[in-house]
């Protein structure tokens, strides 16, 4: 008995060896191209047809080169890294798609010594439907990637931040310098002063410009969803969560910049988590205990009085100190009236390009605009000018064209013979004015008090044209 097994094993071994050699020969005979690399991924053998396909008339001239120098899309390096075969794959070459098989090569002791690639078909008519589907999916993916990348690119540079007064020149200088650093930036300023424009410009001028700029407005997302939105969620982490989980803004912004707008509205529990990312560059997705690392530059912005929020215990002092490394204050429009003409011209040029016709402001119109307190700042200026342009056919706008828009309740006959709609609007305007006054001009708090979303409140403010909110 004892000598039967060795013989059977030996025979089996031989047959296996024969089968392997035969399989190899069959593959090679049917192969449209074969390439073998050593453990450094350098080509040790390539057949003439395959070399010719990649522009090497003489296969000997490809020997010794790293494989990607000859076959740009080769995946043989992956086979060497993993030791695993890639049994069936499609590979793009300059003139066609090839069906390829890639196998690791091991010595008798099982040590990886190289890899071999076969191009099995280059006339892949039989696979045409599969390849067509593959190409169309690939095109769709490329379009989706491009539009996502577009969406995550900075839309503004410093040139878009209009203003030449001393305060703005100093602000741009500070922002330029801050862009080169990696520390967090805190942008402070009233609503509509251009914090978001500046955040885009900083990202565009930073070494991270070619990576994503991801934006999240703390006041625009319900508190319950904010953690998943920021840090992602593992599959089934919360009711209604995506089966595959959710990618958070921190992951999306990896390598780039994350702009956290209205940071003053961040719930306290998340403030702790953000502090940890700022300190240790680590976080966990919702429902996961796997620690992820993040290389993200934070730009935070707020129109809220942070010092007051800290005193009231609504904002963590330690987070504030972490964020308050490079702080830039954006002046309100009423404090930089020297730029009003420039801003108005730039806005009117943009409106002209959108089909509203070319207009100018008379000196009386500029004087009137200069007396107005601009609680909504540049956003409000844009809104007033747009409405004035829509209402007027004249190329030169006078104070008379603007006064009714700036001070609607001061117009003659304003309070008499109002329609129901006008009365309702006046009532709503008064309610909103009072809420904003009560909240000392802090729009997100006023929105909460009124039970409106911040975005709706902004729209209403823009629509009504608010009186001075103080
Ligand atoms: N300096 C500026 N130059 C050109 N446009 C500006 C400037 N400041 C603001 N704007 C315009 O005003 C509008 C509001 O700007 P932005 O959203 O950046 O303000 P914000 O301070 O982030 O406001 P909020 O606090 O409400 O989010 C945008 O249309 C923007 O293009």
Last residue within a domain, chosen from 303, 331, 359: 331
Give domain status of residue 264, yes or no. Answer: yes
Which pLDDT does position 3 carry in this prediction? 44
Residues 272 and 339 in one domain: no
Q: Which of 193, 443, 458 to mutate to test the pocket of ligand 1 (most atoms within 8 A of CB)?
A: 193
* Long-range contact set of residues 125-130: C-beta below 8 Å, sequence gap at least 24: 127/99
What pLDDT score was predicted for residue 239?
58
Mean pLDDT of the residues in the chain: 85
How many domains is the chain partitioned into structurally? 4
Domain assignment of residue 325, yes or no: yes
Residue range 94-125, pLDDT digits in tens: 777 788 889 999 988 889 999 999 887 765 56
Question: Measured in angstroms, how far is the CA atom of residue 161 from the centroid of ligand 1?
Answer: 9
Q: Element (H or E) spanning 363, and its range?
A: helix 363-371
Cα-flanking dihedrals φ and ψ of residue 163, to 5°? 150, 140
- Asked whether the beta carbons of 380 and 374 are under 8 A apart, the reply is yes
Residue 439 φ then ψ, to 5°:
-95, 20
Q: For residue 22, what are the contacts with CB-CB under 8 A and spacing of at least 6?
A: none
This prediction's pTM: 0.64
Q: Which residues, 6 or more positions from 10, have their beta carbon under 8 angstroms from its beta carbon?
A: none
Sign of CA dihedral 23, 28, 34, 39: positive
Mark whether 437 and 402 lie in a shared domain. Answer: no
Residue that terminates a domain, selected from 331, 358, 381: 331
Within-domain flag for 462: yes
pLDDT score for 132 = 74
Residue 189 CA, closest ligand 1 atom number: 21
For ligand 1, the distance from its centroid to the CA atom of residue 301, given in whole angstroms, is 12
**Band (242; pLDDT cuts 50, 70, 90):** low
Output b/e per residue, 342-358; b: 16+ Cβ within 10 A. Answer: ebbebbbeebeeeebee
6 part of a folded domain: no
Identify which has the larger pLDDT, 191 or 445. Answer: 191
183 & 289 share domain: yes
**Do 174 and 239 fall into the same domain?**
yes
Ligand 1 centre distance from Cα of residue 229 (Å): 24
Pocket of ligand 1 (CB under 6 A): 160-163, 189, 191-197, 261, 303, 378-379, 382
Task: State residue 1's pLDDT score.
Answer: 42
Instruction: Decide if 157 contacts 201 (C-beta within 8 A).
Output: yes
In 290-410, the DSSP E strands lie at 291-293, 297-302, 326-329, 360-361, 396-397
How far, in Å, is the centroid of ligand 1 from the Cα of 345? 16
ipTM: 0.98
My answer on whether 164 and 109 are in the same domain is no
| One domain for residues 355 and 370 | yes
Ligand 1 atom 26: residue of nearest CA: 191
Q: Ligand 1 mean position to 339 CA, how many Å?
A: 14
CATH number reported for the structural domain that contains residue 461 in this entry: 1.10.10.60
Cα separation of 103 and 207, whole Å? 41
Return d(Cα 60, Cα 328) in angstroms, integer: 62
Residue with tokens 């000196």: 363
Same domain, 270 and 342: no
pLDDT of residue 423: 59
| Most confident region among 62-66, 134-138, 220-224, 412-416 by mean pLDDT | 62-66
Question: Is 240's pLDDT higher than 80?
Answer: no
Question: CB of 287 within 8 A of CB of 236?
Answer: yes
Q: What is the pLDDT of residues 38-54, one digit of tens each?
A: 999 999 999 888 898 88
DSSP assignment, residue 332?
A: P
Closest ligand 1 atom number to CA of residue 198: 18
Ligand 1 centroid – CA 317 distance (Å):
27
Domain of 396 in residue numbering reads as 335-406
């Amino acid at each position: 008995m004892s000598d039967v097994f060795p013989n059977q094993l030996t025979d089996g071994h031989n047959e296996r060896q024969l089968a392997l050699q035969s399989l190899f020969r069959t593959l090679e005979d049917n192969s449209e191209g074969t390439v073998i690399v050593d453990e450094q991924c350098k080509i040790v053998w390539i057949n003439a047809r395959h070399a010719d396909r990649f522009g090497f008339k003489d296969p000997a001239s490809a020997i010794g080169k790293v494989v990607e120098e000859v076959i740009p899309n080769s995946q043989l390096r992956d086979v060497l890294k993993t030791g695993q075969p890639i049994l069936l794959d499609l590979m793009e070459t300059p003139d066609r798609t090839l069906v390829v098989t890639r196998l690791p090569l091991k010595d008798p002791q099982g040590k990886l010594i190289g890899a071999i690639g076969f191009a099995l078909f280059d006339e892949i008519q039989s696979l045409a439907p599969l390849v067509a589907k593959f190409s169309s999916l690939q095109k769709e993916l490329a379009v989706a990637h491009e539009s996502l990348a577009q969406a995550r690119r900075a839309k503004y540079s410093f040139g878009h931040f209009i203003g030449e007064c001393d305060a703005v020149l100093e602000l741009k200088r500070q922002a330029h310098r801050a862009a080169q650093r990696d520390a967090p930036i805190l942008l402070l300023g009233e609503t509509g002063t251009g914090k978001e424009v500046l955040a885009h410009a900083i990202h565009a001028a930073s070494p991270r410009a070619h990576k994503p700029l991801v934006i999240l407005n703390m006041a625009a997302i319900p508190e319950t969803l904010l953690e998943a939105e920021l840090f992602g969620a593992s599959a089934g982490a919360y009711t209604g969560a995506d089966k595959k989980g959710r990618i958070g803004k921190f992951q999306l912004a990896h390598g780039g910049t994350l702009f956290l707008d209205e940071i003053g509205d961040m719930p306290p529990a998340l403030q702790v988590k953000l502090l940890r990312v700022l300190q240790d560059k680590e976080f966990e997705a919702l429902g996961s205990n796997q620690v992820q690392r993040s290389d993200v530059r934070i730009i935070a912005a707020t129109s809220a009085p942070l010092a007051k929020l800290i005193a009231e215990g609504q904002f963590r002092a330690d987070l504030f100190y972490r964020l308050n490394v490079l702080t830039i204050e954006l002046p309100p429009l009423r404090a930089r009236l020297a730029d009003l003409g420039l801003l108005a011209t730039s806005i009117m040029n943009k409106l002209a390009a959108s089909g509203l016709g070319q207009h100018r402001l008379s000196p009386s119109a500029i004087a009137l605009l200069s007396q107005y307190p601009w609680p909504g700042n540049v956003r409000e200026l844009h809104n007033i000018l747009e409405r004035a342009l829509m209402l007027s056919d004249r190329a030169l706008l006078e104070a008379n064209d603007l006064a009714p828009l700036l001070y609607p309740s001061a117009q003659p006959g304003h309070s008499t013979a109002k329609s129901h709609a006008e009365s309702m609007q006046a009532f709503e305007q008064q309610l909103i004015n009072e809420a904003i006054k009560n909240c000392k001009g802090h729009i997100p708090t006023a929105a909460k008090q009124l039970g409106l979303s911040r975005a709706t409140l902004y729209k209403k403010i823009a629509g009504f044209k608010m009186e001075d909110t103080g």
